[in-house]
Structure 1
Amino acid sequence: MAKTSYKVPASLNRSFLDYEITLSTKGGWAARPSPLKQLFFFGGGVLALLWMTTQTFIASSGPAFIALFVIWGLASIVYFGGMTKTKELRAMSVLALLAYVPTSARNVFTRRSSNPSDFASIVGIDGIDEDGRIHFADGGQGQVYLVVGSASYLLFDEDRVSILDRVDSFWRTVDTTCEWAFVTTTEPQRIYHQVASLERRNQALQIRDPDLIELQNEQYDILTQHVGGKFTSIHQYLLLKGKSEDALRRAHMVLQAEVEGSALMIKEAAVLDREETESMLRVFYQGIDEEQVTPREALSAGAAPATPEEPDLRQTAA
């Protein structure tokens, strides 16, 4: 039976310093829970500041300088003792920040003639095979799927309960040797099949009437410049990243069994090849521009091969 409420479970990675305690006052007011590592950082920082102002050369610098130093020290302790969204101290990111101090570390060249190692170290991907298999820098392998789910605001209560029960039972069968990452993007609508159908109609046209050619060109412009450029829709992808090829294969079998066994969690899952995977990743590293469907993309979606005299609709009109 589906639960009425859910919570994010505590990480198995946490240590003794990650446990949170709540400090309350006499008036009954309770502060936000703070992890032990934050309290230790504040206590150690205050003690270090007290030692520096009494036992070092700062003690003989004059009241004004000591007051400014204490204010600066307290502000630094409060700032670096703050918690990030991932429950880590800001002080833990200082070492990573120092690595970007040199100007050369903040510039990554992406020219075709540049060494791709610097960019690959950021992306974490060594290469992508023709079938879409991703090889990560840490030795893992991955595969991207275009998925369609069943969730909706218009679900009946019994359907919602059935979906939640199915999702709960599914995650209990997932192996921990493979990561499941869902990526949701807002992209221009996919018009590959529509353009491919229009190209096939163009190739089958026996009478090259100028009015018919102009009508097809107008339809082509509407598809590529308006429907595929200005109208956006939500696309959801699933990235499976296994620690090894065998782990990825087992995760693929679990996903395939879920799609074939029930449509409650995932209705459809289509494997992306290299070109489609790169297009999905391009959203994060390049952004979304108006989608221009090339004849190559149309042919890859199933259109008939174009003749040398008529490589695409726009050239046919010329």
Structure 2
Amino acid sequence: MKASYKVPASINRSFLDHEITLSKGGWAVRPSPIKQLLFFGGGGLSLLWITTTTFISSASPIFVTLFVIWGLTAVIYFGATTKTRQLRVMTISALLSYAPAKARHVYTRRNSNPSDFSAIVGIESIDPDGRIHFADGGEGQAYLIVGSASYLLFDADRIAILDRVDSFWRKVDVSCEWAMITTKEPQRIYQQVASLEKRNQALAIRDPDLIELQNEQYDILTQHVGGKFTSIHQYLLLKGKSTDALNRAHTTLKAELEGSDLMMKEAAVLDGPDAQAMLRVFYRGSDGSPERTAPRA
């Protein structure tokens, strides 16, 4: 039985991403990546050079002191790491690109230029069978999935699921991206409506009271259960670099479903209208209207 679990380190790392643990007086300091130590060292040397060789050196002692405090604060702030272990200084370019108000919003009205919105979505077209064509040449397919996670799992089941998920991701081909999407949407009532219609067609006696009762049940399903009550839905979006990469990922997913239900219990391929309905959740307004200004991702 495993006592703990961890997320493996990314393989997209360079020599500068390796962490070094420094100690002082017998106390261990939080590990710091080499790039952070180099940034602190370079920032300190640059600050020393500015205060000793430029016009700052001829200023009053109070001004020099304030400048040094400001410089050290800036070096420490921009040298700190984010949650993804990246230096804050690396986000300055993105911050400057989003500084203008025009750059933070994209108009998605019907009469607006679709170029900016297309650059965010990155989807060129969706086939009737659900095949998604991306702007970078990749192809994708969306699935409605049902997982196995639950708060009521026993420890043995939880460990079995984690082990199965761990082994599954080890064999996934890196030529295809696997994106898990979780949304909160109205409950799906297709099967209930179909069953109600089947019962309606099977009525031997078209009694007005029975017809009225069925109409009432239909209104409850469509207007209340399928309109006002929401539930959590999970989707899987496969995005391959090519058609072959997407087909290999589909084969891997199919083999996993047939081999075990620990990773996923069910996965249904979404056709074109269902895929558009799934993606529409992210790009429409809170009131369901597509005419709004969408913030950039």
Residue 63 and residue 215 in structure 1: after superposition, are their counterparts in 2 closer, same or farther (change >3 A)?
Answer: farther
Q: Supply the AA of the counterpart residue of 1:153.
A: Y
2:120 corresponds to which residue? 122
Provide the residue aligned with 1:54 in structure 2: 52
Distance 1:13 1:256 in 2: 28
Q: CA 1:222/1:29 → structure 2, altered by over 3 Å: closer, same or farther?
A: farther
Structure 1, unmatched stretches of 5+, are 291-318
- Figure out how many residues of one structure are paired with residues of the other and give that number: 287
Shift of 1:157: 4.5
| Corresponding residue of 1:300 | none
Letter in structure 2 aligned against 1:14: R
Change (3 A) 1:78 1:161: closer
Q: Residue 282 of structure 2 corresponds to which residue in structure 1?
A: 284
Q: Is the 8 A contact 1:150 1:264 kept in 2?
A: yes
Q: Give the superposition deviation at 1:204.
A: 7.0
Deviates more, 1:217-226 or 1:271-280: 217-226
Aligned-pair CA distance for 1:115? 2.4
Aligned to 1:265: 263
In the other structure, the counterpart of 1:107 is 105
**Partner residue, 1:81:** 79
The TM-score normalised by the length of structure 1 is: 0.80
Distance of aligned partners of 1:38 and 1:215 in 2 relative to their CA distance in 1, 3 Å threshold: same
Give the CA deviation at 1:108. Answer: 1.4
Unaligned runs of 5+ in 2: 289-297
Name the CA distance, whole Å, in 1 between partners of 2:155 and 2:244: 39
User: Does the 8 Å CA contact 1:53/1:66 hold for their aligned counterparts?
Assistant: yes
Following superposition, the deviation at residue 288 of structure 1 comes to 6.3
Report the CA distance shift for 1:190/1:81 in structure 2 as closer, same or farther (over 3 A).
same
Which deviations, in whole Å up to 9, do the C-alpha atoms of 1:123-166 show, x marking residues without a partner? Answer: 22222221111122222111111111223333345444443443
Q: Which has the higher contact order (CA 8 A, sep 6+)?
A: 2
Match of 1:141 in 2: 139
In 2: Cα distance, 1:67 partner to 1:126 partner:
57
Taking the aligned partners of 1:51 and 1:162, their CA distance within structure 2 comes to 59
Q: Secondary structure at the match of 1:41?
A: helix
Does structure 2 retain, via aligned residues, the 8 Å contact 1:187–1:288?
Answer: no
Q: Which amino acid aligns with 2:98?
A: Y
Alignment pair present for 1:96 and 2:94: yes
1:304-315 aligned within 5 A: none
In structure 2, the residue matched to 1:18 is 17
Give the aligned partner of residue 292 of structure 2. Answer: none
3-state SS of 1:266 partner: coil
Q: Which residue of 2 aligns with 1:7?
A: 6
Cα deviation digits, residues 45-68 of structure 1 (max 9, x gap): 122122222222222232333233
In 2 relative to 1, CA 70–216 (structure 1 residues): closer, same or farther, beyond 3 Å? farther
Tell me the distance in 1 between the aligned counterparts of 2:187 and 2:286: 12
Aligned residue identity for 1:16: F
Name the structure 2 match of 1:245: 243
Distance 1:289 1:105 in 2: 24
Question: TM-score if structure 2 supplies the norm length?
Answer: 0.85
Which residue identity lines up with residue 143 of structure 2 in the other structure? Y
Output the amino acid matched with 1:110: T
Following TM superposition, by how much is the alpha carbon of 1:213 offset from its aligned partner in structure 2, in angstroms? Answer: 5.4
* AA partner of residue 8 (structure 1): V
The RMSD of aligned alpha carbons is 2.6
**CA 1:60 to 1:258, structure 2 compared with 1: closer, same or farther past 3 Å?**
same
Q: Which residue of 2 is the match for residue 307 of structure 1?
A: none
Change (3 A) 1:216 1:64: farther
Change (3 A) 1:267 1:289: farther
**Match in the other structure for 2:295:** none
Q: CA deviation at 1:203?
A: 6.8
Q: Distance in 2 between matches of 1:175 and 1:266?
A: 18
Secondary structure of the equivalent of 1:108? strand
